[in-house]
Every structure is written in structure tokens, then in C-alpha cells.
Structure 1
């Protein structure tokens, strides 16, 4: 018999709440594809895929947490390994949507590889393949590399050369999400593995809040830019 979710299990409640929010966001992004011009459809499709993949994993993660009380690390990292690179690819996609020139594919690969390295060391630390404190360092270095690329690297230079206020605004907001919104994740990792008396409940609650904010907000930023750009061309 499946164990029921206790009403006082706030971590379990957060899994359930966020899974439904991700389902709703998925439906929204896919429906809104018909509202924007063709050059933006891929970006909204990727946004919908991010929330769809995350929603499916959140249903499984909730089940693991409620049934065992243990952190669903494997499901969590399968989710992140799929969705985080897709979020990084969104930078390449929004630049490509409006750039008069072909956006260098190096941007795509650097952001993709940086996100995989960041997650790989995070997984190694959380599963005991590496010491959690040692793995934290290269994982944060990879995150810093991603931030550098979108702040000062080639991606930033391509964005600076575009004459599209909607993409400029979206890029800036996405940059802030990666810098400050993603900072919630290492906070959860730190509280889960560095602090005396730490517990998996606190860590998972923080991770859940971060996913709720970053995955849905990322898509909404792109949606807003796509709608504004589309309407500016038809008005």
C-alpha cells in the first residue's frame, strides 16, 4: 500500500506543490507557442520540455521522500542533467532568434559542457563518489565559468551587439537568475553537507524552492520576450 503524504511533512508538500506548478507551466508554454512568431517557437518548446521533465521527476522524488524519508538524489540529478543544460541552451536560442549573423556554436558548447561539469561534481559529492567538500570546489568553479561566459564571454559580446530591446531585457534577467537564483542550490548543498546537524529535509526543501523559481521563471522570461518581440513586429 502506498504511504500517504503526512499533512505535517512540509518537504513532501513542497514536492507535490512544485510538481503541479511545473505541470501547469508546461501546459502554458506549449499553448503559448501558437502566440509567438516562428523564430521563438523553439525557445518556448525547450522551456516546456524543461518543466515537463522536471514535473515527471518531481512525482517520483515525492514518492521516494514520502515512502522512505531519504533524499531522492538519483532522480534529482537525472532531472538536473537533462534540464540544466537545456536552460543553458536557451541563451544560445534567444540570441539566434534575433541575431542577423549566425551565433557561434562555441557558446552552445561552452555553456553545455560547463553545466555538465558542474552537475557531475555535485553528483559525485552527494553520492559519496568524492568527498562532498572536495567536490564542491570544482562544481562551483564550473558555475563561475558559466557566469563568466554570460557576463563577459562570447555570449555577452553577441548580446551587446544586438539591437533588440526585448532580447536585451530577457538576457539580463536570465543572467541574474543564473547568478542569484542558482545561488540557492549551493546554499542547499552547503547546509546539507557542511553544517553540523544538517539534514536532508532542509536541503531538499531548498532545492525544491530553487527549482520552482529558476525553471519556471526562466521560461516566463523567455515567453515575455517572445510575446513582446512578436507583437512589436505586428503592431
Structure 2
């Protein structure tokens, strides 16, 4: 075993840079297929491009900083990088769909959410598992509730089940809200909250900060759903996409930043 910590750190740094290089190469091949002009007054398109760039920036930051936090936080930092990295990949497609005039990239967006949102919810389990109080039941229930929330949202917005289940978009919205409501219950009153109370100051900071984001940051999504459905007067698909893009930036980026901040102050 190499006893020189500098050499070990150097090897890890090179591995991280290698991962970043492969990611950037893959991403460049993805987004360079076709250059699309963006109008100066296309605020929806601008929000897509800003979100794409910021997701990549967050991913690079989380991967690099993963080497600078205690071991018990490394998995959480890896998942934070996965969340923004997967989002960046999907945003490279979503922005092109919009810029080429093909409408709202609903399918790409929900594919992204079906990967990234459960990962975010699992972060609560990971920070608790790191201190030995996370359980499989917590993992299962949080993951299941997030999937119910997302699948209901997709069926409601896309109408994919209209020929099978005759449920209105409002009913699907309500089902999705039940999934989110269960997550909030666990974070504010359930077993997850009780388990977090035994954590270190760093764990409690991360838990409380992430809980605030899930409570208030995620409230933007049902609002966007109603905008897209035309329920809120004077607002439609354009407003929905801007709102979703801003929400993704805040909820994915800030989520990871709270974990990083807690990890740095839990050394």
C-alpha cells in the first residue's frame, strides 16, 4: 500500500479529471450535432441554456470537491454529482427540442426527473446511513413515494394513460401531491426526522437544509403543472418551462451545495 498521502491524493485527482474528460467528450459529441440560433428575446430558450451550463458547472464542482470531504460524505457527494450530471445530459436535449421549435420537451424532462428526483430523495437515507441510523424501510418508502409523485405527474401532463384510465389531469395532480405529501410527512414528523435528530451538527444542517428545499423548492413543480394545464389564467407552456428550469437549478444545485457545505464543516 502506498503510504504517501500526497501520491494517493494525486492518483485520486487524476482519476477524477479522467472522469470529467470522458464526460465532457461525450457531452461535446452530444450537443455539437447541430448548432441552433437562439433569439435574444427567447427567454425560455435562454433559461434552458443557462440551466445546461450551470448543471455542468455543479457536476464538475461536486466531483472535484468529493476528494476534500470526510469519507462518510463521499457517497452523498457522488450522488449530488450524479443528479446534476444526469440533468445536464438531459438538458442538452431539452434545449435543442425547444430551440428547434418542437414544443415543450415534456418526455425528456420527465425522464430526467425519474432518474434525478429519486436520487435526491435517497440523499436523506444516505446521510442517515452514514451515521448508522438509516434503514431499508426509509429507503423503500421515500423512493416509492417519489416514483408515485413523478409517474402521476407524467400521466397527468402527457395524457399517456387517457385511453386506459379515464382520469383528469387534476386527479393525477392530486395523486402526485399525495406522494409529495408523504415525503414531507417523513421529513417533518416521521421516522426519518426522528433518526436525523441523533446526527452530528453537520448531518442535522444537511438534513434541515435539504428538507427546506424539498418543502418549498419542490412546491414550484405543482405550480408549473397547473400553468401548463392552463389552470392559472394568463400563463401557459412558456411560463411553465421557465419555472421548471429555474426550479431544477435551485433544487438540484442548491441541494448538492447544502450537502457539500455540511460535509466541509463536519470534518
| Deviation of the 1:178 alpha carbon | 0.4
Instruction: State the shift of 1:191 in Å.
Output: 1.5
Structure with more helix by fraction: 1
Match of 2:205 among 154, 169, 172: 169
In the alignment of these two chains, the number of paired residues is 227
Distance 2:146 2:233 in 1: 29
Q: State how 1:173-192 maps to structure 2 within 5 Å.
A: 173-192=209-228
Aligned residue in 2 for 1:87: 120
Aligned residue for 2:110?
77
Cα distance in structure 2, aligned partners of 1:178 and 1:102:
21
Q: 1:56 aligns with which of 73, 79, 89?
A: 89
Partner deviation per Cα, 1:24-77 (whole Å, 9 max, x = no partner):
000000000110121111100000000000001111000011112511000000
SS in 2 for 1:187: helix
Query: Which residue does 2:150 correspond to in 1?
Result: 119
Distance in 2, Cα, partners of 1:5 & 1:37: 43
Larger of the two Rg values belongs to structure: 2
1:148 aligns with 185
Partner-residue secondary structure (3-state), 1:68 = coil
For 1:123 and 1:223, locate their aligned partners in 2 and report how far apart those are by CA, in whole Å: 31
C-alpha separation in 1, matches of 2:133 and 2:217: 29
Alignment partners' CA distance in 1, 2:41 and 2:209 = 35
Equivalent in 137, 148, 164 of residue 174 of structure 2: 137
Q: How far off its partner does 1:5 sit?
A: 1.4
- Counterpart selection for 1:20 from 29, 47, 53: 53
Inter-CA distance 2–229: structure 2 relative to 1 (3 Å threshold): closer
User: Could you tell me how far 1:95 is from its partner in structure 2?
Assistant: 1.1
1:210 aligned residue (247, 257, 262): 247
Moved more, 196-205 or 44-53: 196-205
1:30 matched to 2:67? The reply is no
* C-alpha distance in 1 between matches for 2:110 and 2:51: 17
Q: 1:68/1:177 Cα in 2 relative to 1: closer, same or farther (>3 Å)?
A: same
Alignment-derived partner of residue 78 in structure 2: 45
- C-alpha displacement at 1:196, in angstroms? 4.2
Question: Normalising by the residue count of structure 2, what TM-score does the alignment of the two structures yield?
Answer: 0.82
**Secondary structure, counterpart of 1:8 in structure 2:** coil
| Higher deviation after alignment, 215-224 or 60-69 | 60-69
Inter-partner Cα distance in structure 1 for 2:213 and 2:220: 10
What's the RMSD between the two structures over aligned residues? Answer: 1.3
Instruction: Give ranges in structure 2 of 5+ residues lacking alignment.
Output: 1-33, 162-166
Report what 1:233 is aligned to.
Answer: none
